[in-house]
């Protein structure tokens, strides 16, 4: 079998592939048209971040069985297109955890002590001691947004420096936080109390623009902001204004909304330390991920074993055709529920009814957990680590089965619980293959779970639908489809709008102000 390595990886990874008897071609720097022309000859593709495995490339990959990413992020791989073609997509979670955590701490020191600026001054043969007065990290409050693998390692190192760590993570239990010596808080309190704020979450509808003019106003004067996670979590224009006004004393940025950044005023700003997405760029990390992805490719192509797949659990080949539609349903329902639910989750209950109750439901439960955890955790959640991540965060997972599915042939229900509230999302398959969400709590709906959506709680009053359509139309956002459900005429209702383009923070704020709109959430599937 043939393997194409299209980005630079450690030679140790290439050696593993060749020693297993695989034919390996290393061709880096390919243009999209060049990759498309040759990809049909290969059974496996190994990438880092440069190669874009788009839907067009995947369509041309007639023999491709697996795509392996030497690293954790998969923004450059069209996972949906790969899944439709039955191509397994793997990554190497954890391979860059330590190096990214260390880079975060290094950036924190650099911005607090103005090290790059002082170095540049010295290189210019100046001696400006007073100009570069710094700030100690000792005894300061560090606010960690997202306490996954990387956030957790940052917290440990900060505690070793004598910092007081507080953290927000929707899946972090009080017991777990206490055992780590960390104060568990909600985001508004974290932003208000912290002297240093560091981001360790994925970029989602909820985290996009999390740091903005409104949230910055509630921060301490002289706060420091660090982002080694994802560009877009910080509104860069708002951060620039806060730096200019002195509200924010300094920022350390390894990631940007557009990379490489062009004409970005933050780059070169006297209060900003910038690096070109170096979080995972150490010799050790690159060697680790190259070895890991090579071993995973060998295991799959030679032995048929799937490890660290982000789009497929390990299940017997003869069950794939039956379980795959249910796996897709469970994952999408889990992601939908996660993006609707606010706050700590202490229990996840999976209910399988009708035809689903007779299946091997373990892969479905894992898929639901993957969908649930992925939107809010920085590290990549896959079909291997999802149960362990849930357990680490003190989430109790339960399963029940029943042959009675009511009006449906099959029903999969995910119930999220916290000490104060509960949310139930039920889904089924149309034509035995197309996932639908058919119930939200007690409300009957029929939602196609895909793409960008606006989910709204509203009063069932005339004009609501017209107002939504009008405001989206004025902003050139096309409505793909709309779904509705209500308790009773004139009562509480829900409206779900599938849209063809993302909604900006400004437009979202305008929608929230429409008459009879009670709450709005952006959901992306």
Active site residues: 230, 259, 277
How far from each other are the two terminal CA atoms of the chain, in whole angstroms?
A: 34
Residue 42 CA to residue 362 CA, distance in Å, equals 32
From residue 15, alpha-carbon distances to 43, 69, 107, 201, 284 in Å are: 18, 17, 35, 34, 17
For the purposes of burial, counting CB atoms within 10 Å of the CB of 281, is it exposed (0-12), middle (13-18) or buried (19 or more)? Answer: middle
CA-based nearest residue to 518, from 479, 461, 471: 461
Residue 69 CA to residue 293 CA, distance in Å, equals 7
Provide the 3-class DSSP secondary structure of residue 305.
Answer: coil
Contacts of 429 (CB under 8 A, 6+ apart): 325, 326, 329, 409, 410, 435, 436
CA-based nearest residue to 153, from 209, 106, 83: 106
Which residue reads 């690293």 in tokens? 71
Q: Is 162 left (phi over 0), alpha (psi -120 to 50) or beta?
A: left
Rounded (10°) angle between helices 505-512 and 464-474: 160
Contacts of 360 (CB under 8 A, 6+ apart): 315, 319, 323
Which two tokens mark 48?
């880092």
Rounded (10°) angle between helices 97-113 and 115-123: 60
Residue 430 CA to residue 325 CA, distance in Å, equals 10
């Amino acid at each position: 079998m043939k393997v194409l390595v299209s980005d630079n990886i450690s030679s140790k990874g290439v050696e593993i592939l060749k020693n297993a008897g695989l034919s390996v071609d290393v061709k880096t720097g390919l243009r999209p048209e060049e990759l498309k022309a040759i990809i049909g000859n290969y059974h496996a593709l190994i990438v880092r971040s440069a190669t874009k495995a788009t839907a067009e490339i995947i369509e041309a990959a007639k023999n491709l069985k697996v795509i392996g990413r030497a690293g954790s992020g998969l923004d450059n791989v069209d996972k949906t297109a790969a899944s439709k073609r039955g191509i397994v997509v793997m990554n190497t979670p954890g391979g860059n955890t330590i190096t990214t955590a260390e880079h975060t701490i290094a950036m924190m020191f650099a911005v607090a002590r103005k090290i790059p600026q002082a170095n540049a001054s010295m290189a210019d043969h100046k001696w400006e001691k007073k100009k570069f007065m710094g700030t100690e990290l000792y005894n300061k409050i560090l606010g960690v947004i997202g306490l996954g693998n990387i956030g957790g390692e940052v917290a440990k190192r900060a505690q070793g420096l004598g910092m007081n760590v507080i953290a927000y993570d929707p899946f972090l239990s009080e017991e777990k936080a206490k055992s780590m010596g960390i104060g568990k808080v909600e985001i508004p309190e974290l932003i208000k109390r912290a002297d240093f704020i560091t981001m360790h979450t994925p970029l989602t509808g909820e985290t996009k623009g999390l740091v903005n003019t409104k949230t910055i106003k509630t921060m301490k004067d002289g706060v420091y902001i660090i982002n080694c996670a994802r560009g877009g979590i910080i509104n860069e224009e708002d951060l620039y204004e806060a730096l200019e006004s002195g509200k924010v004393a300094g920022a350390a940025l390894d990631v940007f909304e557009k990379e490489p950044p062009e004409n970005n005023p933050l780059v070169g700003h006297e209060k900003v330390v910038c690096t070109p997405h170096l979080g995972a760029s150490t010799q050790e990390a690159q060697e680790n991920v190259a070895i890991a992805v090579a071993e995973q490719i060998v295991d799959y192509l030679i032995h048929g074993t799937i490890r660290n797949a982000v789009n497929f659990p390990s299940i017997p080949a003869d069950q794939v055709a039956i379980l795959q539609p249910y796996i897709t349903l469970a994952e999408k329902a889990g992601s939908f529920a996660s993006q609707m639910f606010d706050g700590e989750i202490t229990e996840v209950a999976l209910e399988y009814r009708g035809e689903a109750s007779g299946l091997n439901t373990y892969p479905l439960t894992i898929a639901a957990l993957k969908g649930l955890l992925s939107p809010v955790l920085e590290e990549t959640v896959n079909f291997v680590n999802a149960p362990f991540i849930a357990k680490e965060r003190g989430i109790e997972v339960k399963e029940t089965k029943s042959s009675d599915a009511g009006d449906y042939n099959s029903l999969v229900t995910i119930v999220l619980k916290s000490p104060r509230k509960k949310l139930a999302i039920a889904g089924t398959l149309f034509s035995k293959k197309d996932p639908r969400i058919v119930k939200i709590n007690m409300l009957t709906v029929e939602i196609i779970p895909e793409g960008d959506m606006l989910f709204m709680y509203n009063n069932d009053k005339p004009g609501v639908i017209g107002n939504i359509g009008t405001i989206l139309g004025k902003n050139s956002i096309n409505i793909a489809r709309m779904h509705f459900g209500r308790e009773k005429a004139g009562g509480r209702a829900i409206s779900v709008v599938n849209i063809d383009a993302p909604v900006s923070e400004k437009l979202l704020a305008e929608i929230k102000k429409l008459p009879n709109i009670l709450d709005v959430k952006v959901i992306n599937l």
